[in-house]
Amino acid sequence: MSNILEVKKYPEKILRVECVPVGVIDDNTRSLLADMAFTMHAHRGIGLAASQIGMNKQIAVIDIGEGPINLINPKIIDKYGKSLIEEGCLSLPCINVGVKRSSFVKVAALDENGKKIVINADGILSTVIQHEIDHLNGILIIDYADFIKRQLIKRKLLTKKGKRTDEGMPAL
């Protein structure tokens, strides 16, 4: 049975950590992936990185409504095009930021069985993959905001501790 894990919120330090690669994929790794997917769905998210649940591992789960995707040690190996999308984040409740990203990415990773996978993604899947890989590198959506907006967002997050609403884009 899967567990709902605590989602870490800004400014927790783990969100700024560059996660370490996973060396061994075993039953503990698969259990963590299941718990992460369960947590992501419970919070109505479409992506979740291990750092968001306090784990310093290069692991992410994604589900944009087409079934779960498990990414272990993901690396972008090709990208092109440009897109600008308002993104939300489970670790930054009530915050949306316009983020410029590549419109297409090709990603290499390992799946839950240690098998190498390559994903060609565009649209929302491309955005979510890039968002989660950012998390694994200690990068948050607020880092894409200009200085003034970033300061306003930080003030809101640190003073209000806003609660997530179900309006707008699903959180990643």
Which residues are known to be catalytic? 132
Report in angstroms the alpha-carbon separations of 84 from 81, 127, 141, 157.
11, 9, 12, 23
Q: Determine the residue type at 113.
A: N
Q: Which residues contact 6 (CB under 8 A, 6 or more apart)?
A: 53, 54
138 three-state secondary structure:
coil
DSSP annotation of 145: S
Strand 116-122 relative to strand 97-101: parallel, antiparallel, unpaired?
Answer: unpaired
